[in-house]
Amino acid sequence: MQPVNDILMQIENEIADYKSIKLSKKETGRPVIGWLPTDVPEELIHGAGALPVGIVNTGKNGDLGSSFIPDYICSMVKGALDVALSGKLNFLDGLIIPHVCDSLSQLSGVWNNHAPLPYIRGMLFPVQYTSKSANKFFKNELEDLKLSLKESFDLQTTNDNLMASIELYNSNRQLLREILLLRLSNHGILGNKNYYRVIMSSMLMPKERNNELLADLITAMKNEVETNAPAYQNKKTMFVSGMYYADSGLFDLLDELGIIVVGDDLSVGERYFAVDADLAPGNDPLNALVSRQMQNIPYAGYEQGTDRGSFLTGLMRERQAQGIIFLHLKFCEQENFDYPLLKKAMDELKIPNLRLEISYPLSLGMVRNRLEAMLEIMEGI
């Protein structure tokens, strides 16, 4: 049996420079369609016969993106454009940009001008989930996306293909949830850095291959727990809230400080795999994707009829998190608007909380000082 570290190295090897997705394109001749966070329904791209890939590892960017994007735009948007301008995304045949904030809504035009692709599509999402037309609106968006993939790439999506893709993606989500549960009952079995790299890998490689590697990883983790269980305890438990992380520096630092992240609501974290699309008999696959969207973990950009503060404190209680880090990208209006209410919810329950307003590339010196100060406060509680 392969040890955990060997499988992690294999995953790193296959996601480096999008190796695995490029290989799949070469072998199958399928077009590769990139997506930016958050909420682009990859199942629809996969069901049409294309290869979806997340443009999510954009933390070590240079300055190219800044040449075309103003300073007051978050570094996720700048980083993504930067990667495209560097030529590393030349293997893409298309890109879907979710219009979930003003910055992303403006990006399609800039991308088209400076890093053109045969297909760039903005995608809309219901913002008011409580509105009666929200489900219908989103289903229409899914129909439009399906149609545009057909017209642009001559890709036909049948119901059977879409159901098979949803099943594949549900399996991936279930595997990620199993890894999460193993971590929760054995703190430290997979450190924060490795855990978030594993989640990221599922966005960066073909799901079929990712599922194989995740299944191997689970077997290896279970074996390691059986032989080393006592070593995986005594960590400070922390929750992380926000939208995005781009590189592993922060999680590496949390590992070093003896903190274990026991939950998050990140769009490229737990929110990516928390909820399946329900394939109950007779359920239309597009309706299944609509329901998944509506039931997912609350996100700052939407009014979901859920009090996000109560949601977070409830989940933190369940996971026995001792504190929370708000990981916010600088200039992210969505998180800026929610933050006062979220802080109030934490303060009322006297939950230690720290807001890190960050940009990529990440400078860790200041972050370390603030985390160490938070840990000292937590020691005194």
Which residues are at the interface with ligand SF4 (CB under 6 A)? Answer: 74, 76-77, 100-101, 103-104, 243-244, 301, 329, 332, 334
| CB nearer ligand SF4, residue 49 or residue 269 | 269
Closest approach of ligand SF4 to the CB of residue 16, in Å? 25
Q: Record the tokens describing residue 185, joined without a space.
A: 């009952």
| CB nearer ligand SF4, residue 124 or residue 279 | 124
| CB nearer ligand SF4, residue 77 or residue 362 | 77
Q: Record the tokens describing residue 338, joined without a space.
A: 């929610």
Closest approach of ligand SF4 to the CB of residue 271, in Å? 12
Closest approach of ligand SF4 to the CB of residue 335, in Å? 6
Cα→Cα distances 272→47, 175, 227, 249, 373, Å? 18, 12, 31, 20, 31
Closest approach of ligand SF4 to the CB of residue 244, in Å? 5
Q: Record the tokens describing residue 333, joined without a space.
A: 């209006």
Please tell me the distance from the alpha carbon of residue 262 to that of residue 323, in angstroms, as a whole number.
Answer: 10
Closest approach of ligand SF4 to the CB of residue 250, in Å? 15
Q: How far apart are the first and last CA of the chain?
A: 43
| CB nearer ligand SF4, residue 74 or residue 351 | 74
| CB nearer ligand SF4, residue 4 or residue 96 | 96
| CB nearer ligand SF4, residue 149 or residue 332 | 332
Closest approach of ligand SF4 to the CB of residue 57, in Å? 15
| CB nearer ligand SF4, residue 247 or residue 276 | 247
Closest approach of ligand SF4 to the CB of residue 329, in Å? 4
Under 8 Å CB-to-CB from 232, ≥6 apart: which residues? Answer: 186, 187, 188, 189, 225
| CB nearer ligand SF4, residue 101 or residue 290 | 101
Closest approach of ligand SF4 to the CB of residue 38, in Å? 7
